[in-house]
Amino acid sequence: MNSNGNEIEKTIVARAQELGASLAGIASVEDLKASPSYKIYDKRPFYEEYKGVKWRTEHKSVLVWALVHPASEPVLDWWSMKVPGFNPGNGVMRLQSKKLRIWLGEELGINALSLPYQIEYGGAFLKDSAHLAGLGVIGKNNLLVTPKFGTRVRLRGIFMEAELEPTGPLDFDPCHGCDRPCHRACPREAFRSGAFERALCKKENDQRDADAEMLDGSIMGIAEVSKVSKPCRYCEFACPVAQGASR
Ligand code: B12
């Protein structure tokens, strides 16, 4: 525990929750740099636009939060180029991010940077961040599994110019003893080797992009009709953890 007794960390987490975060926590950027995704991605980036991460020395901590995406609200996850943030869930989280960044500066004097979603445009690996911050752990479905909402959450992050005490990781082992319905649920058998194979998962989601349909703006919370694709959620919905809280 640091000398302030974790008061700042608690205040920041509480503020994120007041602004609508379902879960929130803090990780150290130093730990994030050493996390598995960065090790792999720098050697083998998936997107041509990715030119490596420009870590700024002032960015010491990352605030990461989750928004529950229950099965009953599928639209939160649907993609349209016309929706701010590309899907309604991201739209909500972008606004939360802006409010948190301004609040951090004005109330706590902490300079902060709202992170974009995409890695290739300067985003951070959010599952690794959330694991380190104690929101949950990475499960056998390759997703963050949280004790409170299972995998049915979406993530967002902010870099902060302050050395803060990490709020995680968590002592939680939800996949132990589970017979992996997530693996069996995949329509492309992306877990056939026992581990997640991105190319197979991507095929399914690329097909769903190709099958995008024109939907009325009222469904997506915008004024006009737009082309909408519905990303796959089979591995997520199959996870038995906390289903009752994210139905
Ligand atoms: C590109 C991307 C995709 C691509 C590629 C997926 C991939 N995993 O490579 C595609 C389109 C295929 C995709 C699919 C999906 N995605 Co996606 N995706 C992303 C994005 C933008 C970057 C992920 C990435 O490139 N990872 C890099 C590669 C190297 O890592 P990885 O495969 O994820 O695996 C690493 C981690 O698991 C980590 N790890 C494993 N064990 C451990 C243990 C510890 C201790 C730590 C610290 C880390 C760690 O190390 C692995 C690498 O070795 C993130 C958003 C973000 N900014 O982070 C969302 C994100 C990961 N996706 C998300 C979701 C929900 C999905 C889908 C369910 C589709 C959907 N409905 O949106 C599927 C699920 C696929 C799956 N089972 O992993 C959520 C995850 C939420 C959660 N609960 O975890 C994120 C965070 C976006 C969000 N809106 O919140 N995705």
| Averaged pLDDT, 57-77 | 97
Mean pLDDT of 70-96: 96
Which segments of 42-87 are extended strands (E)?
61-68
- Is it the case that residue 1 has pLDDT exceeding 60? no
Question: Domain boundaries in the chain?
Answer: 7-173
Per-residue pLDDT at 52: 78
196 CB within 6 A, ligand 1: yes
Cα separation, 178 vs 159, in Å, equals 35
Other Cβ atoms within 10 Å of 177 Cβ, number: 6
Closest C-alpha residue for ligand 1 atom 37: 142
Alpha carbon of 185 to those of 25, 26, 178, 242: distances in Å? Answer: 30, 32, 14, 18
Q: What is the pLDDT of residue 126?
A: 98
Is residue 235 lining ligand 1, measured as CB closer than 6 Å?
yes
Query: Distance (Å, rounded) from C-alpha 46 to C-alpha 73?
Result: 30
* pLDDT value for 48: 78
What single-letter amino acid sits at 93? M
Residue nearest to atom 5 of ligand 1 (CA): 198
What's the pLDDT tens digit per position in 25-39? 999 999 999 999 998
Q: What is the pTM of this model?
A: 0.96
Average of per-residue pLDDT across 72-76: 97
Tokens of 204: 């399914």
Is the minimum distance from the CB of 117 to ligand 1 under 6 angstroms? yes
Indicate if ligand 1 lies below 6 Å from the C-beta of 41. Answer: yes
Please count the helices (runs of H) and the strands (runs of E) in the chain. 9, 8
Bridge partner residues of 145 (DSSP): 137
- 168: its two tokens: 């995680």
More confident residue, 55 or 74: 74
The protein residue whose alpha carbon is closest to atom 78 in ligand 1 is 142
User: What single DSSP character describes residue 229?
Assistant: B
With bands split at pLDDT 50, 70 and 90, how would you rate the model's confidence at 42? Answer: confident
How far is the centre of ligand 1, averaged over its atoms, from the C-alpha of 194 (Å)? 16
Binding site membership of 183 for ligand 1 (Cβ less than 6 Å): no
At residue 4 the predicted structure's pLDDT band, cuts being 50, 70 and 90, is low
CB atoms within 10 A of CB 168: 20
Closest CA to 168 of 144, 149, 140, 195: 144
Cis peptide before 169 (omega within 30 of 0): yes
- Ligand 1 atom showing the smallest separation from residue 143 Cα: 84
DSSP 85-151: TSSHHHHHHHHHHHHHHHHHHHHH---EEEPPS-GGGT---HHHHHHHHTS-EE-TTSSEEBTTTBT
Per-residue pLDDT tens for 201-213? Answer: 999 999 999 999 9
Mean pLDDT of 47-55: 80
Residue 41: the pLDDT is 86
At 222, the pLDDT band (50, 70, 90 cuts) reads very high
Tokens of 237: 């919905």
Is the predicted pLDDT of residue 24 greater than 80, yes or no?
A: yes
Q: What is the pLDDT of residues 103-159, one digit of tens each?
A: 999 999 999 999 999 898 889 999 999 999 999 999 999 999 999 999 999 999 999
Q: For position 53, what pLDDT does the model report?
A: 81
Burial call 136-149: b when 16+ CB within 10 Å, e when fewer: bbbbbbbbbbbeeb
* Average pLDDT value over all residues in the chain: 95
